[in-house]
Amino acid sequence: MVLHRSEADDSLLIYIGATVLCGGTILYRAKKNRVEKAFPFWGGLVLLFALEILCLTTLRSYLGLSLFSLACIAFCIYTRVEAMLPVDRKAVFITGSDSGIGHELAKYLDRLGFIVFASVLNVNGPGAENLKKTCSERLSVLQLDITNSAQIKEAYLEVRRKLQNADLWGVINNAGVLGFTADGELLPMHSYKQCMDVNFFGPVELSKTFLPLLRKSKGRLINISSMAGGIPMPGFAAYGASKAALSMFSGVIRQELKKWGMNVAVVHPSAFKTSIQGTPELWNKEEQILLQNLTPDAKKDYGEDYILALKTLLAFMPSISSPDFSPVLCDVLHALLAQRPYGLYTPGKNAYKYVLIFFYTPIWFYDFLMSKLMHSPIMPRALRTEETKPKNF
């Protein structure tokens, strides 16, 4: 049965009304449950709108209306909004709050009413002073070198003392170091050991120390890993390996701690504008360490000009990094307060896209893509020499 013009106009109104009702219902539930970024449903609304046009133009009948109505119902069910737990002055411990993600997290959670223990590498540094000046009296700044066992124990005792009879709800392992970016063959063992100490061994020891408090509250452990910890990226052999170890540790203890009623989440952010890449002075220092530890063969094959060009990636990173930390902040909040938090979060532009490409396309395609995205401005000396050699036919 084909609809006449008046009936078609009525069906158009029904289509529009169904769309508004569907979208409005989801937005209302999100606001009611205080979810700032609970799910990426905008893409779904676009698809729903496309289906609406398709049904209206090709199925101008009650069949089209029925199909679209069913799609709206399915969309509402699929994008259900999960209720969030109340803040209720829940206590959270954060590492690496001097700057970057940890610093913004401390401020953000303090504004929401959490009791925040923000640990910093330098308790007298500018980051610590900024937290003391701008945050509420609920926030405490603690000295902590994540690689120092004695300081981890002191931080634990201080948190337990200040909490008294209250519970610690969350621990966020955020402190991390990037080190120098270079081919894995070129990186000195110093870089590998430093990354493992800060990015893996430190969070593991801190987690083990604080787990009794989290077990008591049936709270949340959140480890900030990296996109480089989930997919291989040229230049990040030391950093990526340490973050991959942290991600695997998080996945294993997530399974093990379920029986205690606890939740563990790992966060793989994409590029955000922090100070983790260091300063030109630090790059020059790491560059000299790298040159001093090179074998003669490696130095000859790669060439000093290739090695000196490696730090261009560090200088380039801020230009491709987002200054907006809100995707990370909202995902961490969801991990802290959602009744059913996810095991993995991928905040930031392209973070999940590259994971999908890595797992669902041929390896050769992924490697080709990475070679184009993160190529060095010059080739190693030995490869350039081979290209200039005359070919014998």
The residues assigned a catalytic role are 239
Helices (H) and strands (E) in the chain, counts: 17, 7
Partners of 93 in the β-ladder: 117, 171
Alpha helix segments (H runs only) across 99-235: 100-111, 126-134, 149-163, 189-196, 202-217
Residues in CB range of 389: below 8 A, 6 or more apart: none
CA distances from 80 to 31, 42, 218 (A): 12, 13, 25
CB 121 within 8 A of CB 103: no
> How far does Cα 61 stand from its chain's mean position?
46
CB 141 within 8 A of CB 123: yes
Q: How many Cβ atoms from other residues are within 10 Å of residue 284's Cβ?
A: 12
CA distances from 317 to 34, 74, 178, 312 (A): 34, 41, 12, 9
Tokens of 26: 């989801």
d(CA 327, CA 345): 10
Query: CA-based Rg of the chain, rounded to a whole angstrom?
Result: 26
Q: How many Cβ atoms from other residues are within 10 Å of residue 363's Cβ?
A: 9
Residues in CB range of 312: below 8 A, 6 or more apart: 376, 377
> How far does Cα 378 stand from its chain's mean position?
31
Q: Which one, of 45, 4, 50, 54, lies nearest residue 25 by Cα?
A: 45
Q: Which one, of 377, 361, 360, 369, lies nearest residue 316 by Cα?
A: 377
